[in-house]
Structure 1
Amino acid sequence: MPFSGAEFLRKPVIKNIFHLRASYYQETEQQIHFLVDEKGMTNIGLMIQADEFGISVEKGYLMALKNRGIKPTVTTRYRRNTNDIKLALSILKAKNVQVVAFVGTYEPFAQLINSAYQQDFTPFFTSVSFISSRDLFQRIKQPSNVLVTEVMLDPANCNEAICLQFMDDMKAQGIKTVDQILFEGYLNAFVFVEVAKQCGESLSQSCFLEKLTNFTYQDKGLTIEFSENDHQGLSSIFLNFFQFDK
């Protein structure tokens, strides 16, 4: 179960690869739906990490925009494993884009948001769940419009049985600060254990894959379900907005 929403891992279905999280295409679609369909923003710039991860998410943004007859106003790129955002920021600012759709990691994104504010450039910023909203939000130093799509419930504000179990287990381990990424890892382990239990003493790779392919878990508002033709167990998308606390 990769920590990735990349489409090439999903289609065509690969026998031994399963997913709990929604895809990047689903995340980018929800972002563009909110920004374009609901907020009427069409002047959109892309800032993409220059690697395969960046390209995979960029394709999602391009598809979502194309479905609405829109092209990005500008596409900029920055080098992986750097915070070198100055040139990209100057290009985005020169185009005065309403939205910056960012693909990368939280440190350069936070620097981009903070630097833009210092230059009186305040577009709406958005990114996918890979960014880690908790790490990003705690680095933003001023009021800013930032949206991160999440593929997991917020476990600290969830009454599902699995959320409560997660919180109890984290507390027992002395972990006080939780987020969606921790919860996703926990759910991966939970599914693994539940499937392994179905095999019992006959646990083997073939048994495990057979049981996982037909696995279903139902908990009120949370349903995890796999099938032979669909190895993605969850498809929910949640909008997480930055809130500035002085």
Structure 2
Amino acid sequence: MSTKFPEVQGGGSLILAWQIRDKHVLVVGGGEVAAGRILNVLNADAKVTVVCPAAGLNEEVAYRVSQKQVIHVDRTFEPQDLEGVDMVLCAIDDPAASTRVWQLCKEKKIPANIADVPPECDFYFGSMYRDGPLQVMVSTNGNGPKLASIVRKKIAETLPDNMGTAIENTGKLRRKLRHVAPNIEEGPKRMKWMSGICESWSLEELVKMDEQDMDNVLTYYASGKVPTYAEVQVKRDVQS
């Protein structure tokens, strides 16, 4: 049998960038774990409702409520809270109540995460590193959250401080390119050309690239040439 293809490694999770902008997320609980979950989904631009007695809100969650970053329902969870919900995050210290939330979510086919109970989770929260548009998640599939945090810190230490800015500039250039070459059939050429820019320009050069540089870079696209940063600066000097 051929061994040139990757071997299947069962037991993993499908790691995805889940787009939940404007989706309705229900958080059951208001303690420290809930606070972390709330921040994660707010960073993804979700609409968040927190169901928890006011006395159970920790300082951070109470702050989110006071700033109207989340909607607060001042009582314990009730089944009707699931109406119109796209995702449920449960973080309470009552195993029986947590399982009931899980069962109701399964009945309604709502994806849910029951904190610290891997068998009752449709998805896990990994340890996240964030630098602007760059997001790196480390997951242990529920086996060792602390170890995930340690691995994430080691990865973060190897990344340049300005990686986020370089990615933001690359994204701007990519969007400009789509205006220059909007046709679907241009797709393969666009991808190859953008790959050439990312591979041939240094991180520092991508960070320094401004709007004028981007416009000058795009003048090379039609020919398929990938210009060097130096060539783009020469063109800039001529324009000055």
Shorter-chain TM-score bucket reads 0.3 to 0.5
Give the alignment's TM-score, normalised by structure 2.
Answer: 0.33
Larger Rg: 2
Higher relative contact order (CA 8 A, sep 6+): 1
Give the alignment's TM-score, normalised by structure 1.
Answer: 0.32
Give the number of the structure whose residues are more often helix, by fraction: 2
